[in-house]
Amino acid sequence: MTTQDIVILDYGSGNLRSAQRALEKVGASVQVTADFDEALNADALVVPGVGAFAACMRGILEVRGDIIIDRRLTAGRPVLGICVGMQVLFAHGVEHGTMVDGLGQWPGVVERLVAPILPHMGWDTVRVPADSAIFAAVAGERFYFVHSYGVTTCDLTPHDLNRRSPVVTWGTHGTDFVAAIENGPLVATQFHPEKSGAAGLELLNSWLQSL
């Protein structure tokens, strides 16, 4: 298989280098950059994210990441969101009573989880549907989560001819939440595959194989 050229979008969020190292371990050629053309034209784009929804959205808008992501998906070109990089793909996020617009690639609201302990931090299992591609080899494994917010209701349909019917994987921490979505060229995980050991690497490898 030809080495895939991957761009990790650098918009001021953390955790960029660990994602880079993980993708390089599974054979990708990886560049961390905010360059518009590089991000637009790479074989695949990774949108990481840690911290607050609003802060991540500000950073993405500053580097025109909204335009990059929308153009890539309109053309059927792969995008992978990780953690808050997944959350911002939804229509809205609510933090401390304030609603912030997301990228709107999917309908839905990111809200604080209802759970006895927050954040949801550490290794946990997920409920993988039978038709998942990225979890095919790791459906029974644990993945590493660090989050207090998530999407607890999910009613997704393909946006255009480039999107197949969404495959939604669920997790539970106090309440059910979306742990991952596979929606044609748009794939995202609430957990951190780059911090999830061998299972995370295998998941990233499956994603690369699907490009």
**What does the alpha-carbon distance between residue 14 and residue 55 come to, in Å, rounded to a whole number?**
12
Residues contacting residue 118 through CB under 8 Å, at least 6 positions apart: 112, 148
Take residue 106 and report the two structure tokens written for it: 């999917």
Catalytic residue among 56, 83, 173, 202, which?
83
83 catalytic? Reply is yes
192 catalytic? Reply is yes
Catalytic residue among 120, 147, 173, 192, which?
192
Angle CA 170–173–179, to nearest 5: 25
Q: Strands 120-124 and 98-101, how do they pair? A: unpaired
95 catalytic? Reply is no
**What does the alpha-carbon distance between residue 128 and residue 24 come to, in Å, rounded to a whole number?**
26
Angle CA 24–27–33, to nearest 5: 45
**What does the alpha-carbon distance between residue 44 and residue 17 come to, in Å, rounded to a whole number?**
17
Distance of CA 67 to the CA centre of its chain: 17
Catalytic residue among 111, 141, 182, 194, which?
194
Among 99, 100, 96, 47, which residue's Cα sits nearest to residue 70? 47
Active site residues: 83, 192, 194
